[in-house]
């Protein structure tokens, strides 16, 4: 899939971005989105051909720090947003599982995602490819937006997202290996019940498709105790990409 060409200054509304996604199995559209002459270029491609996921990609046009903001209002903005550590984010090879209401607390999920990037060697994700999907449980839609914003803010180049945000745990593992991705996020609490009053979970699989080893999960937990900033993209409209 060609992702490398520079983009034109084309505005695309969210309704047109999402139209026709569920029609023909061979439907394919790419969009230029806003005007990113200085910092990033984005190209969005959507496929309904199973099991090819949606693609969100960002490629840096010039070296910049994560806190750089571009002057023009329609440009992509990446900023370092202050936060404080939150207790209780002990991470195992099965990731982090809590009640949905816990994950919905301000900065709870964002802290963990940023702590994960703080724990990985830069070469494991910078300008790289990650996979994102889950089991469709409550809160996955909102969580996906947080994950994508922080991944882009930390310099991830491309993110493959399952159709409607859904990819089973084995599917994420398979896509990581098939696409030679750097890793992937799985939004699932496995057999635990889902829903507003029940459980939600997140875990990270490595480039092998296997869960992150204990050496990494221990680092993630350690970094949740010291995280001070989220590096994230601020433009909300960029990430409303038809997870329904």
- The 3 state secondary structure assigned to the chain is CCCCCCCCCECCCHHHHHCCCCCCCCCEEEEECECCCCCEEEEEEEECCCCCCEEEEEEECCCCCCCCECCCCCCCEEEEEECCCCCCCCCECCEEEEEHHHHCCCCHHHHHHHHHHHHCCHHHCECCEEEEEECCCCCHHHHHHHHHHHHHHCCECEEEEEEEEECCHHHHHHHHHHCCCCEEEEECCCCCCCCCCCEEEEEEEECCCCECCHHHHHHHHHHHCCCCEEEEECCHHHHCCCCC
Residue 69 annotated among the catalytic residues of the structure: no
Catalytic site residue from 190, 208, 215, 226 = 190
The two tokens of residue 224 are 């949740």
- For the annotated catalytic residues, the residue numbers are 190
């Amino acid at each position: 899939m060609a992702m490398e060409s520079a983009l034109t200054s084309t505005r695309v509304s969210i309704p047109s971005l999402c139209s026709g996604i569920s029609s023909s199995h061979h439907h394919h559209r790419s969009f230029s989105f806003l005007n990113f002459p200085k910092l990033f270029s984005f190209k969005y491609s959507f496929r309904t051909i199973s099991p090819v996921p949606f693609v969100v990609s960002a490629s840096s046009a010039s070296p910049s720090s994560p806190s750089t903001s571009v002057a023009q209002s329609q440009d992509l903005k990446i900023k370092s947003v202050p936060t404080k550590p939150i207790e209780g984010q002990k991470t195992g090879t099965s990731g982090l599982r809590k009640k949905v209401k816990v994950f919905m607390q301000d900065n709870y999920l964002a802290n963990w995602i940023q702590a994960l990037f703080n724990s990985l060697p830069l070469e494991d994700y910078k300008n790289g490819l990650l996979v994102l999907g889950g089991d469709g449980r409550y809160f996955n839609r909102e969580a996906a937006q947080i994950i994508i914003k922080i991944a882009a803010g930390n310099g991830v180049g491309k993110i493959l997202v399952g159709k409607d945000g859904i990819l089973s745990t084995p599917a994420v593992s398979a896509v990581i290996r098939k696409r030679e991705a750097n890793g992937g996020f799985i939004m699932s609490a496995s057999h635990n019940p889902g829903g507003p009053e029940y459980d939600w979970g997140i875990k990270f699989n490595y480039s092998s498709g296997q869960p992150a080893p204990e050496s990494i999960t221990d680092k993630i937990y350690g970094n949740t105790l010291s995280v001070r900033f989220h590096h994230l993209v601020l433009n909300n409209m960029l990430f409303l990409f038809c997870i329904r």
